[in-house]
Amino acid sequence: MKANWKISSAVLMAAILTTHSELPPRLLAGTSSVAAEWSVQVEKVIPGDVNLEPAFRVAIYENLLDELAKTKQFNQVLPDGDRRATDVPHLLVLTTTVEEYTPGSEARRAVTTVSGATKLKVRGQLCTRTGEVVFDHVVDGNVRFFGGNLRATYNLARNLANAVKQAKLPDTSSLASNN
Partner 1 sequence: MIRRIIRFQEICQLGACLMLPIFFSAGLMGQDDGNVKSPSSTLHATHILGFESISKNANGDLSIQDQTLRFQTGEGSSAGVELKSIQDVFLGEEDKETGGTPMTVTRVAAPFGGGRVIGLFAHKKYDTVTLEYLDSDGGLHGAIFQLNKGLGQVLKTELEGRGVHVARAEGETNGLQQAGEKK
What residue ranges bind partner 1 (CB under 8 A)? 44, 53-55, 57-59, 61-63, 78-84, 105-107, 110-113, 146, 148-150
Residues in the chain, overall count: 179
Local structure of 91: helix, strand or coil: strand
Question: Please, what is the minimum distance in Å from the beta carbon of residue 78 to partner 1?
Answer: 7
Residue 104 to residue 115: CA distance in whole angstroms: 8
Pairing mode, strands 77-79 and 91-102: unpaired
Local structure of 73: helix, strand or coil: coil
Phi-psi region of 86 (alpha: psi -120 to 50; beta: other; left: phi over 0): alpha
Closest to partner 1 by CB, 17 or 111: 111
Closest to partner 1 by CB, 62 or 171: 62
Closest to partner 1 by CB, 36 or 150: 150
Question: Please, what is the minimum distance in Å from the beta carbon of residue 25 to partner 1?
Answer: 31
Closest to partner 1 by CB, 34 or 68: 68
Question: Please, what is the minimum distance in Å from the beta carbon of residue 120 to partner 1?
Answer: 16
> 69 CB contacts (<8 Å, ≥6 apart)?
77
Q: What are phi and psi of 137, to 5 degrees?
A: -150, 145
Question: Please, what is the minimum distance in Å from the beta carbon of residue 137 to partner 1?
Answer: 23
Closest to partner 1 by CB, 159 or 175: 159
Taking each helix axis from N to C end, the angle separating 151-166 and 54-71, rounded to the nearest 10 degrees, works out to: 40
